[in-house]
Chain A
Amino acid sequence: MSSITYFNRRNERYSAGPYSVSTISVEDEYGNQAFNSSIADDFYAQFLHSEFESNIPSGLIPPGLRALYPGIVVFERPPSMQMVQYLPMNMDGIAEYEQEEDEYPDWDNYYIPVPWQIYIASYTTLHDGPVINCVKMFFANEPLTNKNVKLYLPYIPNFFTNATLCAPHFDDSHEVYRYSKDIAGIMASAYDWIWNTGFNQDLVDGVNANINIARNNPIVNYVRENLTHDTISSFYRHLSKHTPEDVVSMKWASPSYTTYYDTNTELKYLYTLPALQQKFIEENDIEVDEDFQFEHIVTYEEFFEWINNTHFVDKTYHDIITSVLFDKNNPSEIRSNHRCSYQNAAVYNTPDQNNFIHIMLSYVNHLPN
């Protein structure tokens, strides 16, 4: 039976997990090293720096795949009714309840309509294929027929306000790795991560943003006018009386670029976006010559005043995907929130530290004799 030992940069034995691993050693049952650091380097090269791998296996893809980018799978689903199993407690509350009552609390089940859903799933390519590491979901009034389709923040719990799903916790690594290692597997796991892992009260910013920010929306208006102590449950109760046809034409809250609606950071980023700069120039009749530089002519304060409220800046698919794929000049906090880097890989997303061992052993098994 092999075991894995981690060493830090000072070659000290290390057992706190893979975060600061510098050298990896695999020892057999007699303590002989079967794995040296050069292989470990190879391991890192193969597993952790392969996010730009583009040609991944396909499998039988379900309908709805709309685009593939390096490390990213984009697919859509049509309007439908979805079951939201919502537990109005946070993780601590659930643990406390379980301890006191010796049973898991009951879910509140809501069967709610959802409009078009656009999924942007990112993956890490391991030696045996790609594994999902992060998923975003947006709502839309129409399918992705062009890049200017407007995207909305989903009114579903456990989403950050940039439409990124707060990664679910799994009991063991099998829950992450059981999917086929191909595009079809990425799509299936992205869908399951969102719709089949349950929802709780840990993160309800996305729902609250919709309830508080969405404008000209009859469902939201009704909830705002009939406030209860549990707004979210009230929102879902009212929503479940509607059909997908009703919600598909409604306007919902715009997603942010930041994890939460951080106005200052958001505004700093919006200030750098060429499309918004152009819009500002046109609306304010600013003359543009060859030497024109937006930052020199338009002050941050002027821009802030023009934007008025960052929550109301519409985002199209093009805005979002450009920001995810290309915008390397973003403030780091935005980039790291948007781009699911390898540090967010599935290895780290699960509480089971044995994941890493599982992968390493799997890797060793795949080494040539």
Chain B
Amino acid sequence: MSQYTYSKLDNNILYHLTINHNNQYISSIYPPLRQLITARHRQSEEFKARFHSNSITDRSYASYLSWTDQQDVYPSLHAAVLQVSLTSKYLNSLFASYSFTSPDTDTFYPIAVRYTDNKNVWLIERPPFLANITFKNARSGSVSTDKSYSIWMPWTLMLLQINPQMSFYEAYLLFNDGPLASLDEKCIPCFFPNMYSNGKMCLNQTSVMLQQHLAQVNSFDISTIYNFILNDYMMGGWNADLGIQAFDRCASTSKSALNARTIVLHGRPDLPKKYPTALTPAGRISNKKYLPNFLNYFSYVSLEEITSMITEAKTSDKGYYKQTYADLIQEIESNARSNSLYGTIFQAPGDVHNLYLKSDLYIDKSVDSLIKQNSITEDLTFEQSFANNLLDFQTSRIATEIETLKTNSSHSYYGSSSPIYAYMQEGKIMFSLLKEDEHDEKFLDVQVPLPLKQVQVS
């Protein structure tokens, strides 16, 4: 994996961009960007011509290909680091949450934080409540009528893994039959729709909207994050995207859940309209009927009944539920540690602080608005490149240019890791390289005008 670093200094804002090119990362990259890279590569002749039209030589393009090692595999943008001055309330709040010297005293935790590492991992409990939800018996993208249900949510625990610096939010929703008495209790995943079988919530756009919400309300605190994710799940509308695999699993460990599943699956001959059979003549499960049956059934289930299903699942020796809260927390903390390269450092000298953002989010509008919040200058071409999903394209070209300049220059510069400062001037990015002089170190301006606005990819 190769890493390149770029910076842009604009008045009091320093945009510092670190790009890791990891060939294996392409599958998880944000789809429009993946499409962009793929399309660009496939149309390499046209791409080359466009490079040429922007006064970049064939040699530069060759070195670009060589540099990104994309002869065989496409390059991708792995992670971005923005170093920004503390000029917004949002960033102040974010920083305060991670600061030892100026902790945030304006916000409070949710009422029942049951475990935390006070940074990335939070286990938050909530007593039972009656939820009014809407359900669309179709995939999320389909046009279909919603139907409302009232369903008891038992004791829930949400295990959050958050990394706001890199816009990373992951949540597990777990059921319990009472308040958590020990971390050695078994985890029973929430078995309602839009949930993976291990209790991981399908956040989809929630994390993007959350990031936007945090930026809008200029607040960063665990209560806001928890409430946003839970409310979004409860009020955002359920659909048939993920089925109810967790319920199927629960039925293998709980007799009550098995009885419920029998009715949900086979229907009730005495109430064929309300509970039609969910099996096709070929014996397969028809989600079209299975899911409405499930929700119909659970809208009549009392809190005691649903709690007893959870108790049976917890006490059963067989089945899937062997993982305890301690196990799950350990697994998540281990993940958090392995992500620390990109995520956990939020300290830098002076007033400049690193903001780590994942590739699939930094090109999102939320990050765009974040940058706008921190910018004084309205007209930022660099910003537009974010909005146009062209950032990796631009930075690759910049890197090529820099490498070429370094090679051709008679000056000696510090190695490839030497800082390259980029700044805006009349809509163009200008660079400064650190020059190694005989007596002194000083910055040498190497101005590379790149007409960013002219770059378009069809």
Interface residues of chain A, those whose CB is within 8 Å of chain B, are 52, 54-56, 58-61, 63-70, 143-145, 147, 183, 318, 321-322, 325-326
Say which residue of B108, B112, B113, B125 sits within 8 Å of A145 (CB atoms). Answer: B108
* Shortest beta-carbon contacts, A-B, top 9: A63-B112, A69-B103, A66-B108, A58-B115, A321-B105, A65-B113, A58-B116, A70-B100, A60-B183
Segment 91-123 of B: residues with Cβ below 8 Å from A: 100, 102-103, 105-109, 111-119
Report the bound CA distance from A68 to B106 in whole Å: 12
Segment 315-358 of B: residues with Cβ below 8 Å from A: none
Report the bound CA distance from A11 to B115 in whole Å: 47
Residues of A within 8 A of B118 (CB): 54-56, 58, 68
- Minimum CB distance partner of A183 in chain B: B116
Is B182 close to A, CB under 8 A?
yes
Residues of A within 8 A of B103 (CB): 69-70, 325
Min Cβ gap B164→A in Å is 16
- Taking a contact as CB atoms under 8 Å apart, the answer to whether A325 and B105 are in contact is yes
Residues of A within 8 A of B73 (CB): none
Knowing that A60-B114, A326-B102 touch, tell me 11 more A-B residue pairs with CB under 8 angstroms. Answer: A55-B118, A58-B118, A59-B115, A60-B182, A60-B183, A63-B125, A67-B108, A69-B103, A70-B103, A145-B108, A318-B105
Give me 11 A-to-B residue pairs in the complex whose CB atoms sit less than 8 angstroms apart, sorted by A's number: A55-B119, A56-B118, A58-B115, A58-B117, A60-B114, A60-B115, A63-B114, A68-B109, A321-B105, A325-B103, A326-B102
Residues of B within 8 A of A325 (CB): 103, 105
- Taking a contact as CB atoms under 8 Å apart, the answer to whether B179 and A63 are in contact is yes
Report the bound CA distance from A64 to B114 in whole Å: 9
Given contacts A54-B100, A70-B100, contact A61 B105 (CB under 8 A): no
- Taking a contact as CB atoms under 8 Å apart, the answer to whether A63 and B115 are in contact is no
Is B180 close to A, CB under 8 A?
yes
Given contacts A54-B100, A60-B183, contact A67 B109 (CB under 8 A): yes
Given contacts A52-B100, A54-B100, A70-B100, contact A61 B116 (CB under 8 A): yes
Segment 115-142 of B: residues with Cβ below 8 Å from A: 115-119, 125
Residues of A within 8 A of B114 (CB): 60-61, 63
- Taking a contact as CB atoms under 8 Å apart, the answer to whether A61 and B115 are in contact is yes
Min Cβ gap B198→A in Å is 22
Min Cβ gap B135→A in Å is 31
Min Cβ gap B122→A in Å is 10
Report the bound CA distance from A55 to B120 in whole Å: 11
Say which residue of B106, B107, B113 sits within 8 Å of A61 (CB atoms). Answer: B113
Interface residues of chain B, those whose CB is within 8 Å of chain A, are 100, 102-103, 105-109, 111-119, 125, 179-183
Report the bound CA distance from A325 to B118 in whole Å: 18
Report the bound CA distance from A67 to B104 in whole Å: 9
Residues of A within 8 A of B105 (CB): 67, 69, 147, 318, 321-322, 325
Report the bound CA distance from A275 to B93 in whole Å: 21
Residues of A within 8 A of B102 (CB): 326
- Taking a contact as CB atoms under 8 Å apart, the answer to whether B108 and A60 are in contact is no
Min Cβ gap B120→A in Å is 10
Residues of B within 8 A of A147 (CB): 105-106
Report the bound CA distance from A69 to B103 in whole Å: 6
Residues of B within 8 A of A318 (CB): 105-106
Residues of B within 8 A of A55 (CB): 117-119
Min Cβ gap B326→A in Å is 9
Most chain B CB neighbours (cut-off 10 Å) among A63, A64, A143, A326 = A63
Residues of A within 8 A of B113 (CB): 61, 65
Report the bound CA distance from A66 to B115 in whole Å: 12
Residues of B within 8 A of A52 (CB): 100
Say which residue of B100, B111, B181, B183 sits within 8 Å of A63 (CB atoms). Answer: B111
Residues of B within 8 A of A70 (CB): 100, 103
Residues of B within 8 A of A60 (CB): 114-115, 180-183
Residues of A within 8 A of B108 (CB): 66-67, 144-145
Residues of B within 8 A of A69 (CB): 103, 105
Residues of A within 8 A of B109 (CB): 65-68
Residues of B within 8 A of A66 (CB): 108-109
Residues of B within 8 A of A54 (CB): 100, 118
Residues of B within 8 A of A322 (CB): 105
Min Cβ gap B166→A in Å is 19
- Taking a contact as CB atoms under 8 Å apart, the answer to whether B119 and A64 are in contact is no
Min Cβ gap B298→A in Å is 27
Report the bound CA distance from A59 to B210 in whole Å: 28
Say which residue of A64, A68, A183 sits within 8 Å of B111 (CB atoms). Answer: A64
Most chain A CB neighbours (cut-off 10 Å) among B108, B112, B118 = B108
Min Cβ gap B62→A in Å is 49
Min Cβ gap A329→B in Å is 15
Min Cβ gap A224→B in Å is 36
Report the bound CA distance from A64 to B109 in whole Å: 9
- Minimum CB distance partner of B108 in chain A: A66
Residues of B within 8 A of A183 (CB): 116
Report the bound CA distance from A67 to B107 in whole Å: 8
Report the bound CA distance from A60 to B118 in whole Å: 13
Residues of A within 8 A of B125 (CB): 63
- Minimum CB distance partner of B127 in chain A: A63
Min Cβ gap B289→A in Å is 41
Report the bound CA distance from A183 to B117 in whole Å: 10
Min Cβ gap B158→A in Å is 14
- Minimum CB distance partner of B121 in chain A: A58
